[in-house]
Structure 1
Amino acid sequence: MATEDCVESEGLQLPRSRMANERLHALIPGGAHTYAKGDDQYPENLAPVISHGRGAHVWDIDGNRYIEYGSGLRSVSLGHAHPRVIEAVRRELDRGSNFVRPSIVEVEAAERFLATVPTAEMVKFAKNGSDATTAAVRLARAVTGRPRVAICGDHPFFSVDDWFIGTTPMSAGIPAATTELTVAFPYGDLAATEALLTRYQDEVACLILEPAGHSEPPPGYLAGLRELADRHGCVLIFDEMITGFRWSEAGAQGLYGVVPDLSTFGKALGNGFAVSALAGRREVMEPGGLRHSGDRVFLLSTTHGAETHSLAAAMAVQATYVEEGVTARLHALGERLAAGVRDAAAGMGVGDHIVVRGRASNLVFATLDENLQPSQEYRTLFLRRLLAGGVLAPSFVVSSALSDADIDRTVEVVAQACAVYRKALDAADPTPWLAGRPVKPVFRRLV
């Protein structure tokens, strides 16, 4: 192999980031507060530690600038430090952020949210998606009197809480009795879901799923789930953490016209500020309140759930989406990127190996080996080359801050990465291009 082909010739060096990663691991289990941000998700010694971000770009503490995708795990859809959002936050910071009674901002934020997502009648805010989805599950169990939760087994993540994490390979510390109450149904298969509900007749409290994922829902599928839930007495929950705003301002439910009983939003809602929402039909939500005659449900009661600056950020985000057509821009940028990546991969002879998937506003990529099987080794190779070209892309999820020039530069870097990918495929061995251990999946039993 020629010297210039070796990964060491990339030129990207991250000495400060490497030292900072050591400090992170010494103080924080996993070296990050989110497993998906861990350095095991990146090539060895090429996990940049971020200094700051602006728009679609971030800078690491070594001074390198990157075009960033998947910003904040899909949460920063308007770009970092968006002026309209930051100004709304600044106004509230000067007025105080948390009080012993509700702030007027809470009702204003609720009114704004329910105007944006008119399929819901009540909303309660929290700080993260897991709180919202677990609250939805608790409500479903309370209103149905049933113990079991049916999750869509094809969707990767619903909550950090035991009812879901117990079903993953990282189930240590979770009692088997808890996990046994969670069952799974396949996406797109109404017959299999009905068979599950029949098997556990009168035991399933809810069906919870992302309404859409890497592919569009089959015709009639979501409406069919709605009918199944009604017939079997289940609560239908849409997890709109990802689809919310990226599919439409009113989420996937607004796009596909199927109304769930409950839905959960987060990520894009705050453009990086900590805010999530549980929304739904009044009769399902009200047991978590004070104006009913039944048993009380401890729904969501968080000290910081209604911090004024985060709710102000959410209102500014929603206004920006509606007034500036952000969802349409996300789709246009994603379509441009997907077309460019596919053309670049095909031009280098790896079009069957680097595969772009998903809705244009929520693109991911698969890296396949010489046998067209998913490969962490080839993912490592691809990520190394992207990083060397100044592209930080654990996915190809776009933000509206990207410019056409950013997309064009990304496609150039992808083409360069594809050329190396082709060499590794021809050698049937990507190892010489890895310079260390391969990246690893988040959900695995052992370190």
Structure 2
Amino acid sequence: MPCRSAVRWPVLLAWGLALAGPPACAQAGLGAQAGPATVAASRADAGGPAPSGDAAAPERQLLVMLRLPPPHYRPDAGYGGRYLDDGGRGARHRIAEELARLHGLKLVSDWPMPTLGVDCYLLEAPAGGDPARLAERLSHDPRVEWAQPVAIYSGMDGAAPTLYPMQPSARYWHVAVLHRAATGRDVSVAVVDSGIDGHHPDLDGQLASTENFVDGSSYLPEAHGTAVAGIIAARGGRQGILGVAPGARLMGLRACWQQGGQGARCSSFTLGKALNYAILHEARIINLSLSGPPDRLLDRLLDAALARGISVVGAIDPQGPARAFPVSHPGVIAVAQQGRGGPLAALPPTLGGAVLAPGQDVPASLAGGGWRFVSGNSYAAAHVTGMLALLAELRPGANGAQLERLLVPGRGPNAATIDACATIANTTGACTCSCASAVTLRSSRQP
């Protein structure tokens, strides 16, 4: 794969992200430590035992206080933190059970409150029950000191950190603003890659379909495919990353397999099966963040895809021939990453004709949860695929070549880079995030 993964912890710490343990404990990613509520929810989703006690259904629970006898009548007046064992405890428990039975409640738990002179009993109403009304009724029982619904509180942590400000697509492309015009809604994008983690919070609900074309192995969530998919279509939210086209519908076509530290590998057979599937199922855009030797089968399939108006995006291999597959194929959009500090001043001669997109130090979704920083042309290609999905929503009748022509290059020495704001402004005819770009384009086209 033409990519380089690089975890840059000093950058994360500079942005003030709290990490749950050392990097090794987070699989070289940004660890997100779940609180107790999150853990309970995940266990329930996995089919494990439902939470019990006071975490089960607090919205249906109420507290009932029963009076303790005066201290001089209690043999345990010197209470030191243990549960009281005075002679009336059993009687009070029987009273709580009777109250629960009379009012159709379930006795869940209890705890002594000697500071207040009461035992506190936790009761639960049935589904549809009104804890406030039941508490009011119980308060009129002479045996009850008072009753009240259980109140719910939230810890005053800061909001979960979003990685959006750290994304190059935020700095250079202003994608959150571009989404006022388009999100890639319902555009079908085939990600031909290793497996995608559809349970990652960035990608939950973003996979329209998944298919495995690697014999002898089931569909697996893997690093490269998950990172590429997140850059294209991550949902965004209170935490995580925001994809270039979060409205797109992804086909997760596993034609590559992960090989430990050696990255992902594919074959012309697995890639051929995946490309055939993408064509038959009418993908609008195919992302190929990979490279290798020319191949007759794959060339024929790309011819078929391009003839049907499908956009095909490929990543240039910086270590291989200037025009390795798939960017060696006419009609495939060849993508390389722009420079670390912004757009490159000029393309190396071997990359002539390519477009540049963000691809260095990109926060990306990590298979199994969390995030990591990645760099490489694979991830630059994913940005271009997302941009084409935005354009495909705005111009639903355009074919792949027409969508490519809508990409507006930068001006001057940055002519190889994509000016995202100008691209959307030019397509919609309205200013989105860079009015100057839109004005310049309109002025340049006037006779």
Query: Which has more strand, going by share of residues?
Result: 2
The verdict on a shared fold, with TM-score over 0.5 as the criterion, is no
Q: Shorter-chain TM-score: which interval?
A: under 0.3
TM-score (norm 2): 0.24
